[in-house]
Amino acid sequence: MLDIALQKDLVELLANNFKSAQIEEFGKLLFGKFDVYALLKEQNHITIPARSAAQLLVEHCSARDCNAKLIHLLVETDGSQFMGRQVSVDGIELFLQKLSGSGLVYDFSRRRVIKAKDDPFEMINWGSLRSGKSYPLTVMSVDVVGSSALSRRHGARKIGKALFHLACHLKGKLRPYDGRVWNWNGDGGIIAFGFKEHEARAVRFALELQLTMPVFNTRLDLPAGVELALRVGLDSGRLTFASDVGSIVSDVINYACHLEKSAVPAGSVGVSKVLHDRLPPRLAALFTHTVEFSDRTAVLIAGRIDTLRARAPHGGAEPELVGRIAAD
């Protein structure tokens, strides 16, 4: 049922969160009889490492095709009492996310592992976030500048078609960054990023999206000189997930939206200082314009990055030419 990589991840999950006696208890819950010492042929006075017990249990489950039941036990144990103590299974969400990438998903409503019918990319919870639980995420708010005015001037049908193509373009660019569209209203929406290095992935996606807009605009059936332009704002922090993402109340989402709408100019990207401080140095260095917004500090890219037209950055000199053009 599970490939070798997922079996190894399951071993790590068990070993990092439970002692050998607790892992043995999982085995007893699954099989009735599960004696780690007897199965490993060790004497009772020997201390069994958690990793050895975890490896034994996963191999035992794999041989009997019941890893799904073990995963169910781990999910249900997370956040509950087990053997007299409150348990938090660190890393369970990342494991479930990897599981969804293999074509399997844990269905929280049915409380079991099932085959994924949908593209994992369409799962707004990555197949792993649980309603009511708090997670560290980066949230991006993106909006088309002046879409209502464009519709009035050039026709709702023509602009509507352009916005549809924009949504398709955005989703295509988003997939490698493992973000999820939580809300899309035709001319903008909310995108979430989670798990390892979610801050950097979110910002890199925002930059790539803006940088690809000049080429994207050449595909649209719009009058010469009429182009779609985006504003992008991002914030990072903990929020409580809900399967109905529209019902999520979060300062992180609110700040990203307000930053994008009120402080970020067309063709640019703005991030909260909290998010900026978590970025790798070379990525953070791209953001140079600091503003105070909603009692917090935000950092913006100075000037537009969504155009092929030559222009100097805010009040600065023209950028130095490099490469072949400079050599010529």
Q: What is the pLDDT of residues 230-245, one digit of tens each?
A: 999 999 999 999 999 9
Q: Which residue has the higher pLDDT, 216 or 322?
A: 216
Return the structure tokens found at 148.
Answer: 């209502």
Asked if 139 and 39 touch (Cβ cutoff 8 Å), the reply is no
Residue range of the domain that includes 11: 4-122
Average pLDDT, the chain: 91
328: pLDDT confidence band, cut at 50, 70 and 90?
very low
Model confidence at 165: pLDDT above 60: yes
Model confidence at 150: pLDDT above 60: yes
Is residue 318 situated within a structural domain? no
- 279 lies in the same domain as 158: yes
- 113 lies in the same domain as 208: no
Model confidence at 270: pLDDT above 90: yes
- 191 lies in the same domain as 290: yes
Is residue 225 situated within a structural domain? yes
310: pLDDT confidence band, cut at 50, 70 and 90?
low
Domain boundary among 88, 122, 156: 122
Report, as an integer, the average pLDDT of 240-262. 96
- 52 lies in the same domain as 163: no
Model confidence at 324: pLDDT above 60: no
Is residue 230 situated within a structural domain? yes
Is residue 9 situated within a structural domain? yes
Domain boundary among 122, 156, 171: 122
Query: Do strands 289-293 and 269-272 pair parallel, antiparallel, or not at all (unpaired)?
Result: unpaired
Q: What is the pLDDT of residue 321?
A: 34
Minimal CA–CA distance to 15: which of 4, 2, 26? 26
- 183 lies in the same domain as 282: yes
Is residue 204 situated within a structural domain? yes
- 272 lies in the same domain as 202: yes
- 238 lies in the same domain as 261: yes
Q: What is the pLDDT of residue 309?
A: 66
Report, as an integer, the average pLDDT of 301-323. 61
Is residue 310 situated within a structural domain? no
Q: Please write the tens of the pLDDT for every residue from 5-37.
A: 999 999 999 999 999 999 999 999 999 999 999
Asked if 242 and 129 touch (Cβ cutoff 8 Å), the reply is no
- 96 lies in the same domain as 138: no
User: Residue 304 carries which DSSP code?
Assistant: -
Q: Please write the tens of the pLDDT for every residue from 78-129.
A: 989 999 999 999 999 999 999 988 889 998 888 999 988 778 888 999 999 9
Model confidence at 138: pLDDT above 70: yes
Lowest-pLDDT range, 121-135, 240-254, 269-283, 308-322? 308-322
Indicate the burial class of 202 (C-beta count within 10 angstroms; 0-12, 13-18, 19 or more): buried
Total structural domains within the chain: 2
- Rounded distance, CA 262 to CA 270, Å? 11
Q: What is the pLDDT of residue 119?
A: 80
Q: What is the pLDDT of residue 322?
A: 37
Task: State whether the Cα torsion 180-194-175-171 is positive or negative.
Answer: positive
Q: What is the pLDDT of residue 317?
A: 45
Is residue 309 situated within a structural domain? no
- 65 lies in the same domain as 29: yes
- 84 lies in the same domain as 180: no
Is residue 307 situated within a structural domain? no
Asked if 304 and 311 touch (Cβ cutoff 8 Å), the reply is yes
Other residues' Cβ atoms within 10 Å of the Cβ of residue 12: 15
Q: What is the pLDDT of residue 222?
A: 83
